[in-house]
Amino acid sequence: MKYEIRESTELVGTASKPCLRVVALRDIPSLGVTKGTEGGVVSGPHNLSQSGNCWPAKGTRITGNAVLREDARLIDFAVMRDDSVAEGTSVIGGATIVADKAVIGRAAKVGGIRAKRDPLQYALPAGMEARSVEQADTCFIGGTAQVFGTVQDDAIVTDAARVEDTGLVLESAHVGGTVSVAGTVRGTVVLIGSQVVAKGETVAKSPPLADDDIPEFVPRSI
């Protein structure tokens, strides 16, 4: 067996609550997991396969009938719930939520913690650096969506949309309907329909600047 489930506690707000936590019974060298390492919180053994190298890191959660299997990984503060599935060598991170009957597979990369892209960078004058801060992505994958490519930042993929291996859905883009993405969708674009974004194609939209976000230019002293 790869892991066992132990009764434990987790901090919810300022209170400790009982939970079920996975604990490694053997090393998983490729992930740096050693015997005795505590993993994430689950509802039961049905959430995590004993086969492969799949592993939910401490800080993650799998609830309902969601399943993590094969060599898929759940990292950071990611959550899987409902009847969602993560498989292949996919990695789900940040504060991403995978819900409903969504499938994350193959070598998909969903969410993470990084220097956050500032959407204002698309409206800043040339040569002006975009502001950035390290924070967790807040992606949401739901419906019967299938993701095999990359979804990052605050992007949303819902309904029966499909992100192919070469697909990128970034920033605050929302892809739904039966949209198929093999190219790049970014910015504040909302695609809800049956569009196809082909490999090599980019669909982007920059958000307007709010008054408080307009950069202040200070003239140089001569």
Q: What is the pLDDT of residues 71-102, one digit of tens each?
A: 999 999 999 999 999 999 999 999 999 999 99
- Of 51, 49, 53, 23, nearest to 37 by C-alpha is 23
Those residues with Cβ within 8 angstroms of residue 23's Cβ, 6 or more apart along the chain or in another chain: 3, 4, 5, 6, 36, 37, 38, 39
pLDDT at position 124: 44
* Per-residue pLDDT, 205: 84
**Closest C-alpha among 5, 29, 9 to residue 18:** 9
CB atoms within 10 A of CB 49: 18
Q: Which residue has the tokens 């506690």?
A: 9
The two structure tokens encoding residue 75: 């990292």
Name the phi and psi angles at 205, rounded to 5: -150, 130
* Segments of the chain scoring below 50 in pLDDT: 119-132, 209, 212-222
Instruction: Identify the pLDDT of residue 13.
Output: 66
Single out the residue of 136, 165, 166, 129 nearest to residue 152, CA to CA.
Answer: 136
CA distance 46 to 32: 24
Q: What local confidence, expressed as pLDDT, does residue 11 receive?
A: 73
- For residue 111, the tally of other CB atoms under 10 A from its CB is 29
State the pLDDT at residue 87. Answer: 98
How far apart CA 59 and CA 128 sit, in angstroms, is 37
What is the per-residue pLDDT for 136? 86
Count the neighbouring beta carbons within 10 Å of the beta carbon of residue 155.
Answer: 27
Paired tokens of 185: 């969708």
